[in-house]
Amino acid sequence: MNRKKRIVLGVSGGIAAFKAASIASQLTQRHYEVRVIMTKSATEFITPLTLQTLSRNPVSIDTFDERNPEVVNHIDLADSADLFLIAPATANLMGKLAHGLADDMLTTTLLATQAPVVLAPAMNVHMYQNPIVEENMTRLRELGYSYIEPGSGQLACGYVGKGRMAEPEEIVEWVENFFLRRQPLRGKKVLITAGPTVEAVDPVRYFTNHSSGKMGYALAQAAQEAGAKVTLISGPVALSVPSGVTRYSVQTAHQMLEKVLEHLPEMDLIIKAAAVADYRPKVVYDQKLKKNAEEMTITLTKNPDIASEVGKRKRSDQVLVGFAAETQNVREHALSKLERKEMDFIVANDVSLEGAGFGVDTNIVTIYDRAGTELSLPLQSKQDLAKQIIEHVGASLI
């Protein structure tokens, strides 16, 4: 994987806690970032130092042990996790989670996260078959939690039956498959344009727009995480390139068009999120224009329409997605652009709305397609929106 996925490994207090050492080690060797949270009872079975050494990260135990004053530890772990893996998941841990109890670091973080959670149960066979435990497990399953089923055999307590936590190799394989399943664009090639273009007037002046490139860069990261090989063609922005993404930097609309057409034949999905200047100065002066007259007239000439050019050239198996930043009659303008430029989807937003304009970290959009369907996505971060856009338009490639 090009970007390290962060797995929060929760270890609760059961004899199977010793297997967490192997899980942490194997996941780290596979280039996952592993952060461990232990209950205090888990420390009776395996030391925090062991898991810290194997994960190469500090181990969290106490909710109030705040080592970094810039963040709240359990919220930071909750927000940054790609997956929560609880191994072992004891009957006590699942009971507290099923009823929304948060009395330690692990349960507090679990209630705060929006990441997927998978539980690897481990307990005595009679505990596993207890109707209360079964009811708790059913409730958690209905709430969207996943399970890695325990095995049957000789248990540490001496009984024989179901309740033995799955082996580390099985758990690690489940994790690997989980991330593969969440890559709907695996093997696909995606081209994304982002940011503004810059059209020079003279050596020190130019025309541009307010685009920050944040939406395009978020889409590039989301597409890369979805398994695609991503080519990002970007105007000048102050953003870091997402890991694993190939970026080509351009300045003008003509340069962007040239680079897009160069890579177009090999692409499966083209997302034109850049805010390309509609016009450019007809004459670009070699020397700086002096401030002499009270008024200055600059004649503009029309730039090529990159989306239209792509729409004319794309094959039937290629998908073109455009963006429409409007201030009025958003639906009408978006549908007109969708048709005229032979797009398959268009993502439209009203940039006059609070939280939806250029330069901010949030957006509000509606996705339209040629079949006449609409998908409205409410105000949220551009990163979250990007994931939903990639999932929605990527389905057309499957």
Percent of the chain with pLDDT over 90: 75
What pLDDT shows up at residue 180? 77
CATH of the domain at 175: 3.40.50.1950
Q: What is the pTM of this model?
A: 0.65
164 plus 195 within the same structural domain: no
312 plus 256 within the same structural domain: yes
Residue-wise pLDDT for 349-388, tens only, equals: 888 888 887 878 899 999 999 988 999 999 998 988 999 9
135 plus 218 within the same structural domain: no
Query: 111-115: which pairs have CB atoms within 8 A and are 24 or more residues apart?
Result: 112/74, 112/75, 112/78, 112/79, 113/8, 113/77, 113/78, 113/79, 113/81, 113/84, 114/78, 114/79, 115/8, 115/78, 115/81, 115/82, 115/83, 115/84
Structural domain boundaries, residue 17:
6-181
Q: What sign results for the dihedral spanned by CA atoms 93, 96, 100, 106?
A: negative
CB 146: neighbour CB atoms within 10 A?
15
Whether 177 maps to a domain, the answer reads yes
217 plus 168 within the same structural domain: no
Whether 198 maps to a domain, the answer reads yes
Q: What is the DSSP string of 21-82?
A: HHHHHHHHHTT-EEEEEE-TTGGGTS-HHHHHHHHTSPEE--TT----TTS-HHHHHHHH-S
pLDDT surpassing 90 at residue 153 = no
pLDDT surpassing 90 at residue 398 = no
Of 159, 181, 203, the domain-final residue: 181
pLDDT surpassing 80 at residue 159 = no
Whether 1 maps to a domain, the answer reads no
What kind and span of H or E run contains 108? helix 105-112
Compute the average pLDDT of residues 222-234.
93
Whether 126 maps to a domain, the answer reads yes
329 plus 353 within the same structural domain: yes
What pLDDT shows up at residue 20? 97
pLDDT surpassing 90 at residue 35 = yes
pLDDT surpassing 80 at residue 154 = no
303 plus 170 within the same structural domain: no
Task: Report the chain's mean pLDDT, rounded to a whole number.
Answer: 92
Residue-wise pLDDT for 242-253, tens only, equals: 888 999 999 999
196 plus 158 within the same structural domain: no
- How far apart are alpha carbons 352 and 101 in whole angstroms? 43
What pLDDT shows up at residue 157? 73
396 confidence band (pLDDT: 50, 70, 90): confident
What pLDDT shows up at residue 308? 96
Residues 49, 20 contacting (CB under 8 angstroms): no
206 plus 92 within the same structural domain: no
177 plus 242 within the same structural domain: no
- 190: which 2 tokens? 């995606």
Could you give the number of structural domains in the chain? 2
pLDDT surpassing 70 at residue 3 = no
Of 181, 212, 246, the domain-final residue: 181
Compute the average pLDDT of residues 127-144.
92
Q: What is the set of active-site residues?
A: 157
334 plus 378 within the same structural domain: yes
161 plus 254 within the same structural domain: no
Whether 94 maps to a domain, the answer reads yes
33 plus 168 within the same structural domain: yes
